[in-house]
Structure 1
Amino acid sequence: MNRLWTLKQKGYLPLYAFVLPGIVLIVLFNYIPMLGLQMAFRDYNFTDGVWGSPWIGLRNFKEFAASHDFWKATGNTLLLTFLRLLFVFPTTIAVALLINEIRAFRFKRLVQSLSYLPHFVSWIVVIGFLDAFLSIDGGGANSLLRSLGMEPIAFMGSETWFRPIFVASSMWKEIGWGTILYLAAISGINPVLYEAAVMDGAGRFAQMRYITLPSIVPIISIVLILTVPGLLSVGIDQIYAMINPANMGVAEVVDTYVLRLGIGQAQYSQTTAIGLVTSVISAVLLVFSNLLSKRMGGDSLW
């Protein structure tokens, strides 16, 4: 029996060798850096290093918890992620359903390709185009407003317009890419269900409502579970390209606050403490959303 088990394990050696580089990279860049988490409990300085810096316990946590700027950034983060979840998440599902209804094969592939393309454009480029289009001096949007006899608006420097621009740009850039998973799930639906629905007199909308949408609910549940832990992370690339002194009151999020505190003020211990807390909260949210989905009878990660 042992000899049979040994021979069987030897047959897996090529597979083990295949995954080994990936495991090594994960250990090097995901697990070993966790040793640096102790910086959150130390008064870090370059001279003494991580291990030599004095231990100060929870002082870093108390300092950022007492900071008004931190809570302001946290509120902005939660609001922006909620808006993105409210508008981008359901719109992605709706677009996937609509693309699936296109019957002309070549046109359908064209629509899919065009919807995927924005995902591959850097946020710096996207915001650069937006900045030029919405510019108060010669921008297309303000030129139109002037032609209508209206006053120009400093869109990119306005706290009022920051959130609508954030949501709209997120939708334009990521909706097409987000449909891939749903379209893959839709392609796995048994065609017999649609044939039976047609025989019963169901129209295209009824088929979408009673067959397509319920069939992809498990995928929707999984995507939602994976989305919830990211409530404290908006995505620094988009925000960093949009933020400026005029809109910082609503644009400052946890990621940019950490960047400003760490790189700008060299408060490495405090930023590590913030990162540790947000990571723990994200893990708790993941477990909670998974349990909630399971309790409600939906799919779960485990």
Structure 2
Amino acid sequence: MAQPNSEMKGIMPPERIITVKKESFLKHLVKNKWLYIFLIPGLLYFLVFKYVPMFGIVIAFKQLSIVKGIWGSDWVGLANFETLFSSSHFLRVLRNSILLSVYQIIFGFPAPIILALMLNEIRQIAFKRISQTILYLPHFISWVVLAGIVINFLSPTTGIANQIVTAFGHEPIKFLQEPEYFRSIIVSAEIWKSVGWGTIIYLAAMTGVDPTLYESAKIDGASRMQRIYYITIPGIATTIVILLLLNLGNILDNGFDQVFLLYNPVTYETGDIFETYTYRIGLQDGRMSYATAVGLFKSAVGFILIISSNYAARAISGKSIW
């Protein structure tokens, strides 16, 4: 008697499995073709502006010559990194970048969470929508305009801040020329600009919390603060952890616009960060190889931080990005 083949036994041969998978994928692709079409612009953005420029990393290990080009320039190995680490400006720039990011995380990261919790407790829909619209508006103001607002607000002659200072009998303060005030100004301006927009993510996360939990807690006599602490915050904990990890990964990425538009040589002591330092040595001084080494160092530190922060978050809270 002939032995039953694999199909008779109910076991599909490997060739048939591959064919079925291909057919299933094609059906899925045709069924969701518009979703993949809409995905193309995003993929092109990352390909053109994120992945293709990575080939320029080789500049950090060369002495770039405009005449010879990238590939024809002389190979210098780690010489640019040695120059960076031995530079008198390196520790200052590193300290300023870390401190500014730490201040942003300490004061700026909780701000949209607190604001979202407050907005979530508003029961008057009209007032809630008007409040959200007003809070979102600063996000759409460019840093050029916002820097002008800050400069006028802190002007030692016509600024509102100094008018209040002089009203109490004190001398006007040149806020933008005092290094000790610079970080506070940058962090405050960043919070004012982004806090309203940041609440969108947390408000969206709050919509996923089961309403029956609030009803049960209210029946059990839980106060509003208790419902926030024991239901709302745990319900958005995953979102908080993910955004915190992303912030930690960008701890050396403070943003170029806000600092460049408000700092000056007087405030280099506390305001000079990697972005502005790279701009000066790369574009103004023409030291492109050295500037690329600075940027590569910053990216490497950010990569290490986001990996380590992810593992730490997973060990502590059980929540992580991957």
> Among residues 55, 76, 79, which one is paired with 1:35 in the alignment?
55
2:135 match: 115
Say what the alpha-carbon RMSD is for the aligned residues: 1.6
In 2: Cα distance, 1:234 partner to 1:121 partner:
18
Of residues 23, 40, 43, the one that matches 1:7 is 23
**AA paired with 2:24?**
K
Contact 1:60 1:270 in 2 (8 A): yes
- What amino acid maps onto 1:208 in structure 2? I
Matches within 5 A, 1:192-231: 192-231=212-251
Deviation sequence 1:265-300 (CA, Å, 0-9, x none): 111001111111111111111110110111113311
Q: CA deviation at 1:38?
A: 0.8
Question: How far off its partner does 1:4 sit?
Answer: 3.8
Partner residue of 2:9? none
> Within 5 Å, which residues of 2 pair with 1:48-63?
48-63=68-83
1:26 Cα shift? 2.8
Q: Secondary structure at the match of 1:234?
A: coil
1:298 and 2:318 matched: yes
Superposition deviation, residue 237 in structure 1 = 0.8
Q: Indicate the residue corresponding to 1:87 in structure 2.
A: 107
Match of 1:68 among 81, 85, 88: 88
Corresponding residue of 1:173 = 193
**Max radius of gyration: which structure?**
2
**Alignment match, 2:295:** 275
Task: Name the CA shift for 1:191/1:165 in 2 (closer, same or farther; >3 Å).
Answer: same
The one-letter amino acid paired with 1:217 is: A
Q: Deviations over 1:80-122 (max 9, x none)?
A: 1001101111122111111111110111111111111111111
Aligned mates of 1:167, 1:16 — CA distance in 2: 39
Quick check: 283-292 or 24-33, which moved more? 24-33
Q: Give 1:20 shift.
A: 4.2
- Name the CA distance, whole Å, in 1 between partners of 2:37 and 2:200: 31
Cα-to-partner distance string for 1:222-256 (whole Å, 9 max, x where unaligned): 11111101111111111011111221211100110
Quick check: 1:125 aligned with 2:145? Answer: yes
1:5-64, Cα deviation, whole Å (9 max, x unpaired): 443333315355554454344333322221111111111110100000011111000001
TM-score by length of 1: 0.95
The alpha-carbon distance between structure 1 residues 83 and 268, as it changes in their structure 2 partners (threshold 3 A), is same
CA distance change for structure 1 residues 203 and 234 in 2, over 3 Å: closer, same or farther?
same
Inter-partner Cα distance in structure 2 for 1:43 and 1:248: 27
Report how far residue 135 of structure 1 moved. 0.6
Separation in 2 of the partners of 1:214 and 1:152? 46
**Matched-pair contact (CA < 8 Å) for 1:221–1:298:** no
CA–CA separation in structure 1 for the residues paired with 2:41 and 2:144:
32
Q: Distance in 2 between matches of 1:205 and 1:3?
A: 57
- Structure 1 residue 214, shift from structure 2 partner: 1.6
- The residue that corresponds to 2:122 in the other structure is 102
Alignment correspondent of 1:190: 210
1:144 to 164, 170, 175: 164
In structure 1, give the amino acid aligned to 2:320.
S
Percent of residue pairs identical: 38
Counting matched residue pairs gives: 302
Displacement after TM superposition at 1:3 (Å)? 4.7
- Unaligned regions of 5+ residues in structure 1, if any? none
Which residue type is aligned with residue 153 of structure 1? Answer: I
- Structure 2: segments with no counterpart, 5+ residues: 1-15
